[in-house]
Structure 1
Amino acid sequence: MLSNIRIVLVQTFHPGNIGATARAMKTMGLTNLVLINPRQFPDEEATRLSAGATDVIDNARVVTHLEEAVADCVQVVGASARLRSLPLPHFDEPDDMAESVTQNAQSAPVALVFGRERSGLTNDEIRCCTHQVSIPANPDYGILNLSQAVQILAYEVHRAWRKRDDSDYAYQQPTESTPPSREQMTHFQAHLGRLMQQSGFITQPHARTEEQLQALFTRAQPSRKELSLLRGLLSSLESHLPER
């Protein structure tokens, strides 16, 4: 589905913004970039600022007219910092736009169109769109860099896609956060109980105390690594106790 979402940049002046846009796209799983009459492309600055997203840069398509870039799209969303008097549906919130875009991209191409760094999209270019979207910002200073605007909308699209029932996105979990097995927790609790008796903290098995400590560590949900540290601490303390 994400491959059906196209990022279109109109007459980008700074080639570095093309590279930064490619980086913003790739971090959100988007790879389809179309450039309309860029001032300078290909360019080393674009490649450098892509920060490794060179595949997006290398596969970017350059065309002459916006109509050519979006002719096969069923939805074309123009990003605009200001409201226009044109009778187009307008998304006040990027997340509403993203839900609509991801729905349409299930079966056909869609496009997000961004204008020039200084002046944005013209009214004629907005007329080529089916919808408009704005990024809510500080009304006293709502100036976003081109690649920043792409990053925000691309994130919202990726977020809407992640939330779909048919998304195959798997959240990354660090190895250190893997929870311990039940057997590992049992060994830890037995070790703790043994040390409590050896240290004199309790003089005989005390079910209530052990249950409370078990509940404490259950709520804490230590990872395997953290449990290993605790076992190491118990072993160190145990080695300093006098033999009984």
Structure 2
Amino acid sequence: MTTKSKQINIVLVETSHPGNIGSAARAMKTMGLSELSLVNPKDFPSGDANALSGNARDILDKAQVFTNLQDALIDSHHIFATSSRKRTITWPTYTPKEAALEIDTKLKESQKISIVFGREDRGLTNEELELANSLIEIPANPEYPVLNLAMSVQVIAYEIFQLLDFNEQIEWRDSPLATSDEVQHLITHFIDTAESIDVIDKSNPGKIIKRMQRMFTRLQPDKMETNFLRGFLAAINKQKK
């Protein structure tokens, strides 16, 4: 987790089923978030919450519990509220992806962000929504636009995760990339070999050569792969002789 992730507070309002709190904590942890606030949860702490949290018990253990939403938001600079219903009063409204971009900008300004999720059966009241600066609506099938609480947390947390540098970049290659010159020599070797065994008609190659060039350029082979392929092509040429 990064310092930025600690600036994001997930707030669950009057959650009725403790299992949903545990599942939400699990969704948070998989996406690098750790700060959880609970407003008047019906049953917490709870064995059901612990059971469904998986390895996110640490998030539950340090979750803050409040008696009202205003107290949970007291040190927030910007508040996003989630809503699935059209409201008579309009707020700036974002998709999760758009909201993540806004959040990323605000985190760079050292703002503390709260994202508020309502009750499982009826969401947030208009009075609670009025505490928010912006709304987040998750696009869904209009015939059945129903996501449970943990799913909603997961979708929004995922979009945030995509923008924040939670993970160190791990170099997966065990060999350096081939240089452009090495790739071009491989392409030439491949085309010469293909022509020598009549896979490509020299007199009428069509677009196949350009396609092969594009393929190898797109694949970005490493030095080991390039050397192996050139050895393979050399063996074909040797057999032909």
When normalised by structure 2's length, the TM-score is 0.72
Corresponding residue to 2:11 among 8, 11, 16:
8
Following the alignment from structure 1 to structure 2, what is the Cα–Cα distance between the partners of residues 177 and 126?
Answer: 53
For the pair 1:118 / 2:112, whether they are aligned, the reply is no
Q: Which residue of 1 aligns with 2:26?
A: 23
SS of 1:175's equivalent in the other structure is coil
In the TM superposition, 1:65-214 aligns within 5 A as 65-86=68-89, 89-105=91-107, 106-159=109-162, 161-162=163-164, 171-172=169-170, 174-175=172-173, 179-180=177-178
The residue that corresponds to 1:206 in the other structure is: none
Q: Which moved more, 1:213-222 or 1:76-85?
A: 213-222
Check 1:228–1:41 CA distance in 2 against 1; reply closer, same or farther (3 A cut). farther
Q: For residue 66 of structure 1, report the CA deviation from its aligned partner.
A: 0.7
**Whole-Å Cα distance in 2 between the matches of residues 76 and 50 of structure 1?**
25
Instruction: Give the Cα separation in 1 of the matches to 2:168 and 2:216.
Output: 26
Q: What amino acid does structure 2 have at the position aligned with 1:230?
A: L
Give the count of matched residue pairs.
227
**TM-aligned CA deviation for residue 37 of structure 1:** 1.9
What is the alpha-carbon distance in structure 2 between the residues aligned to residue 28 and residue 177 of structure 1?
30
How far is 1:128 from its partner?
Answer: 2.4
**1:45-82: CA deviation from partner (whole Å, max 9, x where unpaired):** 33343332333222221222111100111211110110
Whether the aligned pair in 2 keeps the contact of 1:6 and 1:32 (CA below 8 Å) is yes
Q: Distance in 2 between matches of 1:32 and 1:56?
A: 7
The one-letter amino acid paired with 1:156 is E
Distance 2:19 2:50 in 1: 8
Greater Cα shift, 92-101 or 169-178: 169-178
C-alpha distance after superposition, 1:83-120 (max 9, x if no partner): 2223x523143333223333333322121000111111
* Cα distance in structure 2, aligned partners of 1:91 and 1:135: 10
- Paired position in structure 1 for 2:44: 41
For residue 221 of structure 2, the aligned residue among 212, 223, 226 is 223
**Deviation at 1:168?**
8.1
Residue 50 of structure 2: SS of its match in structure 1?
helix
Are the aligned partners of 2:8 and 2:35 in contact in 1 as well (CA < 8 Å)? yes
- The match for 2:206 is none
Secondary structure at the aligned position of 1:42 is classed as coil
Question: In the aligned structure 2, how far is the partner of 1:177 from the partner of 1:45?
Answer: 48
Gap regions ≥5 residues in structure 2: 199-208
How far is 1:29 from its partner? 2.3
Q: Secondary structure at the match of 2:98?
A: helix
1:53 to 44, 51, 56: 56
RMSD: 3.8
By how many angstroms is 1:156 displaced?
Answer: 2.5
Gapped regions of structure 1 (runs ≥ 5): 203-211
Letter of the 2:219 partner, please give it: Q
Tell me: CA distance 1:174–1:50, structure 2 relative to 1, closer, same or farther (3 Å): farther
Alpha-carbon offset, residue 142 of structure 1: 0.5
Instruction: Name the CA distance, whole Å, in 1 between partners of 2:218 and 2:102.
Output: 40
Call closer, same or farther: CA 1:119–1:230 in 2, change over 3 Å: same
- 1:113 counterpart SS class: strand
